[in-house]
Amino acid sequence: MTASVTVLVAAGVALALALGLARGFDVVAIIILILIVAVGGLGIAAARRAGSGTVTPATCEECNGLISPNAPYCKHCGAQARA
Ligand SMILES: [Zn+2]
């Protein structure tokens, strides 16, 4: 989620920069650039906040069971977690 938003913002900034360079950075290009950076920054912050609350489960290398990424060993087969 965060990565896709970042890519979208980067693409928008690149597009605005390319437009600005091609047309000589008129007021419209600068306004578009500022809008993209502002909206993109909000989007990235929102995506970060949404993602920080969830813990992505890890997969045991031995039995492929879902385990906590912080667990020292697998709760299914007892294999030691290799971080
Ligand atoms: Zn296991």
Per-domain residue ranges of the chain: 2-52, 55-83
pLDDT at residue 16 is higher than 90: no
| CB environment 38-47: b (16+ within 10 A), e (fewer) | eebeebbeeb
Ligand 1 center–CA 59 separation, angstroms: 8
Residues with CB under 5 A from ligand 1 (ion): 60, 62-63, 65, 74, 76-77, 79
Ligand 1 center–CA 3 separation, angstroms: 30
The pTM (predicted TM-score) of the whole model is 0.39
**Model pLDDT for residues 25-54, shown as the tens digit of each residue:** 788 878 888 888 898 888 888 877 776 666
Ligand 1 center–CA 2 separation, angstroms: 30
Dist. CA 64–CA 82, nearest whole Å: 13
